[in-house]
Structure 1
């Protein structure tokens, strides 16, 4: 919530015993420029007063020193996918999954979320293939949002899988009316970025998809071939689509200074999860 006051007034009491307003007292208030013990009064969703001190007026909620701070903003979470598929090969009904996801985030102090959805699927491989789902899920999420079913604010974050077969076709199904906030460039080609260590990749996919050694080797070869066929085209196309949608462009798993330079050239607005000190310093 935004306060109309530039600084604590330290003048009024926050007696809400005869109103429907809210007063949170004896709290650690996280303000723009300081943290202080005090009370905060909220009237019809707007902060109207801040008073310093540990007094708990009549009708106020005694926070007993707990923090009161602005709602957190989650830029990238795969949490909704976890609720959609709580166990391998279990496709949970999407609306209950979305509502559980929403409630879970609200309980942690997150009040705005950019829900990450993968765009870019793989149909040529028979094992561990990526199947398209983002457009359908986005429709369900936007409908639930329009009906006021969520506790917090939801926006779209499209995870553009460069190493896929259908990225540009899937991105084309979205429009500015969807209010896509973020498009992040993902390149999970084995042997670089997040998966420079093939041992770590093997552990990850074997656990998630149940691959044996031969299947894993085939998976690696297929991913590398996809990157060779589509990588450059998909990167250029995803950057263009982000501009069309009015979304902020994000990089993902920058590992080298060269990765960061490429991200900057593409007009990336922020970097998600640089994986090395070199990349972090370059960012």
Structure 2
């Protein structure tokens, strides 16, 4: 049996921080002690923090490496290796790489690159190219007419462990009726449409949502329940949205846009997920509810790095240091480890406890920001 000893560390457990020693045996946590080891093979962590490896439920960080510039395709395994290296260096040891099934336009890069990206993610894991554990998060655009053939094609992939349902049509979720002018402004510039073309674009999106969204949403939820795959809502804005998501058996409420939707989701047992960049920047870039306000209300359950991996550890320590919220340091670390793992039915990781995977992060609590010093995945040093 291979044994490792990490001693003189501040161990961030699920509910407390203790000074002590961690024993790792064959990639699993085998013992926790509040004493200091005197064995010569013990590694001294110099009183730095040792926390669970972080679990990322929603990142599309890999997209920038598959298409580093417009019309530039990068080899899939190289793209995944670079994406993985960035995650590991940020302390993320489990990543749900998010891929979009459908888009608001049918010929987008996301749709065109979908199969190549999924194949690269799956094969990179099989070939041992990646150091973090990579799983798949299928993001289903329910107002996309051709969604269901894509969903049926990929839902059987072994690494699919999370599915979210989205509706980005004007008048829905992120773009309620009062925000349609913002929708118009953003997409008219993005796609270079004339006023008349934009009118037609909005009309088509609204018609697609009315025709497909409810039916696709319900079908997808039924399939995921049958397969034991966790489901997430996306951009819920009202109490009615939150109650619908709960009634459909969803486990995660991704990026609710209002305090009302977040509070009701949390009350009904959904794990409220917000973006770590929202915490770091002090608010939402799109004008929605600030994640710090949900923390102050005690209804923040999970943080996701979304598009900026190193924001995850930064945001957790920022939440722990806020004056006006109820989150202790162990509470805040659960937002990026235990809570996302359990929400996605991963029961073998996400906390420092005997029997759990030895996915670990050594953190230097520098005065400017927490710094990732070393990372282990299943007891193997990967950073």
Given that 2:22 and 2:29 are in contact with CA atoms closer than 8 Å, whether structure 1 keeps it comes out as yes
Map 1:102-141; keep pairs closer than 5 Å: 102-121=84-103, 131-141=111-121
**1:250 counterpart SS class:** strand
Structure 1 residues 42 and 120, CA gap change in structure 2 (3 angstroms): same
**In the TM superposition, what whole-angstrom CA distance separates every residue of 1:54-82 from its partner, at most 9, and x where no partner exists?**
67764443323321111111111111123
Shift of 1:144: 1.5
- Counterpart of 2:372? none
Q: Residue deviations 1:198-223, cap 9 Å, x none?
A: 3543565467x353553544433332
CA contact (8 A) 1:176 1:245 kept: no
Find the residue that maps to 2:204 and give its secondary structure: helix
**CA drift at 1:175:** 4.5
1:255 counterpart = 2:237 = yes
CA contact (8 A) 2:143 2:209 kept: yes
Structure 2 residue aligned with 1:148, among 128, 148, 151? Answer: 128
1:111–1:263 distance in 2 versus 1, CA, 3 Å: same
Partner of 1:269: 251
Q: What is the correspondence of 1:130-209 to structure 2 with a 5 Å cutoff?
A: 131-196=111-176, 197-202=179-184, 204-205=186-187, 209=190
**Contact 2:76–2:116 (CA under 8 A) maintained in structure 1:** no
**How far apart are residue 168 of structure 1 and its match?**
0.3
Local SS of the residue matching 2:52 = coil
CA–CA separation in structure 2 for the residues paired with 1:192 and 1:47: 46
Q: Which residue of 1 aligns with 2:192?
A: 211
Is residue 121–residue 132 contact of structure 1 (8 Å, CA) maintained in 2? no
Please list the CA deviations of residues 213-265 of structure 1 after superposition, one character each: whole Å capped at 9, or x if unmatched.
Answer: 53544433332222123223322232233235431111011100111111122
Whole-angstrom distance in 2 between the partners of 1:136 and 1:191: 32
Q: Equivalences for 1:37-116 in 2 at 5 Å?
A: 37-52=19-34, 58-116=40-98
The number of aligned residues is: 262
Two-structure CA RMSD over aligned residues (Å): 2.8
Shift of 1:100: 1.2
CA distance in 2, matches of 1:257, 1:87: 40
Instruction: Look up the SS of the partner of 2:223 in the other structure.
Output: helix
Distance 1:37 1:159 in 2: 41
State the SS of the aligned residue for 1:139: helix
Equivalents in 2 of 1:60, 1:213: separation in Å? 67
Cα deviation, residue 134, structure 1: 3.0
**Alpha-carbon spacing, 1:241–1:82, altered in 2? closer, same or farther (3 Å):** farther
Q: Secondary structure at the match of 1:24?
A: strand
Does the alignment pair 1:225 with 2:207? yes
* TM-score normalised per structure 2: 0.61
Asked if the contact 2:65/2:83 (under 8 Å) is kept, the reply is yes
C-alpha separation in 2, matches of 1:81 and 1:133: 9
* Unaligned stretches of 5+ residues in structure 1: 1-18
Higher relative contact order (CA 8 A, sep 6+): 2
CA distance in 2, matches of 1:131, 1:100: 22
